[in-house]
Chains A and B, each alone.
Chain A
């Protein structure tokens, strides 16, 4: 067991003596590429769209409410005009006769 430990110590000692002369500077274009990818990924596109979708929905609902309010009398009269048309219906006439 002790021999094995010593053998491992000698092996790692030999391995450590191997000089690692590889460059540790970022390769050309690496930092630019990574920064661009990171910034593109970080931009909160979804929340931006969501934010404007919500605002657009509120605006659309408000506009619809304003349009309904402005044309309320027309809409109401249209509805009331439809009632006599319903009385042309033979079934409705029969019901009216029966009553």
Chain B
């Protein structure tokens, strides 16, 4: 594979809470290829969003920091070593992000048009207002907003959740970025709107040759719309593979259990499965494999040693799993 657009190597992020250090993301490596959708799946608090913020080097320095790792963009530039101007250039121009809550992603005191034009202005200062307005209105109809002229002059509180998320997407693609990070973009929306939004993202991907990093806790969405999937648990990488492989034949016990608990039509009337136990407290992590207290295939070695990553190749695609079962 030679079309990696983003390479993340050994990323570790720490947060400080009450003078204690929490390792929110521990030694994660993965690649993003051009024009692909990569899903990062995991439970709440497993570090998905932290990974997303790290890619843009957006970890608030009062709260935490990236201790080790490299994030290589376009095979050349290490995002973590960039200076302020280069970062400014990268964020927004090359990589953009959509947050999960469309209700807090738009400034309530500025009109939609003002906010979009402002982004354009900071990247293309040479454009004049009427050109920018035309571009923005064009873009709004691109993200399937009806009556873009009216929406242009509206305040966010006058719009529905779906409309707002479309505007966030518009803000995300307004500068023609190469990578779009979507941090749970459908969590705050109802199911039908969520479906529209995801379909919009896929269609934009084809049109604009975008790479999408899709962060979600919804396995269905990940299966349906991504090329590859990364599963995370308690700040660590667990399994990575092509969507087909993971949905049909997951290797790691955690992924297997996640699949088992999905409610499906043929389970109608039966009790829903669940994974026993709960996500470990990040301050007192279990020894050895972080998943072992909840794992149904736990072995002696799991409680003592930390598993390494095993690679296997299927259909020409390199998949990875982090479990002693495959030693």
- Are A and B subunits of one complex? no
Could you tell me which A residues sit within 8 Å of B by CB distance? none
Could you tell me which B residues sit within 8 Å of A by CB distance? none
